[in-house]
Amino acid sequence: MSLLRLSGIVLALIFLVGLAWSNPTMDDYLRFVELELGKAIDRMDQGTSSREQQFIRQVFRSQSKKLLASFVQPNTVRHNWGLVSHYETRMADTKVVVLGLAGYFIPLQGVEEATLKIGRMAFD
């Protein structure tokens, strides 16, 4: 085996080990969902009074961990494939599919729709 081929194999193994090591956990996913929901609340309907918007933001900031633990986490299934993770969550009658890879999350389906529905529910 040539030194070049052996070096390529070693580099590929280092890359794969790095992907496995940086594969996001369920806690990482919950932080991602919390950030996405926070962004949705920040983009709230401008027709709502600023007092109501501020109240909703305060409630979300103080209760977001409980919301995630009681609503999002039980409705999420994580498929850990070693190098990547596939997350499926049912939120607001919407299926949310997200791929976790190298410490990042790639929304595949339903994230924007679910955040819009949750934002609307806050005003109903």
pLDDT at 124 over 70: no
Q: Tell me the whole-structure pTM to 2 decimals.
A: 0.76
pLDDT category, 82, cuts 50, 70, 90?
A: confident
Q: What is the pLDDT of residue 25?
A: 92
What is the pLDDT of the chain when averaged over all its residues?
Answer: 82
Q: What is the pLDDT of residue 79?
A: 94
DSSP, collapsed to helix, strand or coil, labels residue 102 as: coil
- In the chain, what are the domain boundaries? 3-121
Sign of the C-alpha dihedral computed for residues 88, 108, 114 and 60 taken in this order: positive
Q: What is the pLDDT of residue 26?
A: 92
DSSP state string for 34-75? HHHHHHHHHT--TTS-HHHHHHHHHHHHHHHHHHIIIIIGGG
pLDDT at 122 over 80: no
Other CB atoms within 10 Å distance of the CB of residue 66: 9
